[in-house]
């Protein structure tokens, strides 16, 4: 099954949620162990998030990482865009590209373009509404995940 987001992005989100629960700086080795993320990969992700202005980094014995902004101000959309780039990428739906898909005869007669624009808008809206603080709360409050499958 393909994932909507890269492993780097998923790990970045998990790490940021973990960091958001801490008061001071937290060592990447601790995050790696607690979140089951390969340490070298995590360090690269955290460096990238630091360069994007989402984390403060401090070297030394008392060093580590902490959020550069309050958890309420860091949205899933911001994290995903920082690590993966555009959230929903289809040439005909991407507002910057505005080109037809490789197998599409005509954008005007595309049977799914309008639906995909709605899907993109809804996904982005949810990601912009979800920040580290409420994502952390939702994790604590969820007890089960409902899996819905489509019979083909």
Per domain, the residue ranges of the chain are 7-141
pLDDT exceeds cutoff 50 at 87: yes
Contact (Cβ atoms closer than 8 angstroms) between residue 107 and residue 92 = yes
List helix spans (H) across the chain.
7-20, 28-35, 39-51, 76-84, 113-129, 132-141
Q: How confident is the model at residue 60 (pLDDT cuts 50, 70, 90)?
A: confident
Give the pLDDT band of residue 137 (cuts 50, 70, 90). confident
- Paired residues of 65 in beta bridges: 26, 57
Q: Does residue 104 surpass a pLDDT of 80?
A: no
Question: What pLDDT is attached to residue 108?
Answer: 67
Which CATH architecture group holds 7-141?
Answer: Orthogonal Bundle (1.10)
Residue 69 pLDDT more than 70? yes
Interatomic CA distance for residues 97 and 104, integer angstroms: 15
Mean pLDDT of 86-111: 68
The model's confidence at residue 49, banded by pLDDT at 50, 70 and 90, is very high
pLDDT at 74 over 50: yes
Measured distance CA(104)–CA(45) in Å, rounded:
36
Q: Which residue has the higher pLDDT, 137 or 24?
A: 24
Least confident of 26-30, 44-48, 85-89, 133-137: 85-89
Q: How does residue 114 score in pLDDT terms, banded at 50, 70 and 90?
A: confident
Distance of CA 91 to the CA centre of its chain: 21
- Quick one: which of 88, 82, 70 has its CA closest to 133? 70
Q: How far apart are CA 80 and CA 64, in angstroms?
A: 22
CA distance 37 to 32: 5
| CA–CA separation, 23 and 132 (whole Å) | 14
Q: Is pLDDT of 13 > 80?
A: yes
Question: Rounded distance, CA 101 to CA 99, Å?
Answer: 7
Length of the chain: 152
């Amino acid at each position: 099954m393909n994932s909507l987001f890269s492993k780097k992005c998923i790990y970045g989100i998990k790490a940021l949620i973990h960091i958001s629960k801490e008061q001071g700086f937290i060592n990447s080795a601790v995050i790696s162990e607690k979140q089951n993320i390969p340490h070298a990969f995590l360090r690269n992700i955290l460096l990238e998030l630091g360069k994007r202005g989402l984390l403060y980094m401090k070297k030394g014995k008392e060093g580590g990482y902490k959020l550069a902004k309050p958890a309420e101000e860091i949205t899933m959309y911001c994290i995903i865009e920082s690590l993966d780039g555009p959230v929903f990428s289809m040439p005909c739906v991407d507002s910057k590209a505005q080109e037809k898909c490789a197998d599409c005869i005509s954008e005007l007669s595309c049977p799914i373009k309008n639906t995909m624009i709605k899907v993109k808008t809804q996904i982005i809206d949810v990601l912009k509404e979800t920040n580290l603080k409420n994502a952390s709360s939702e994790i604590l409050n969820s007890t089960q995940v409902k899996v819905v499958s489509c019979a083909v």
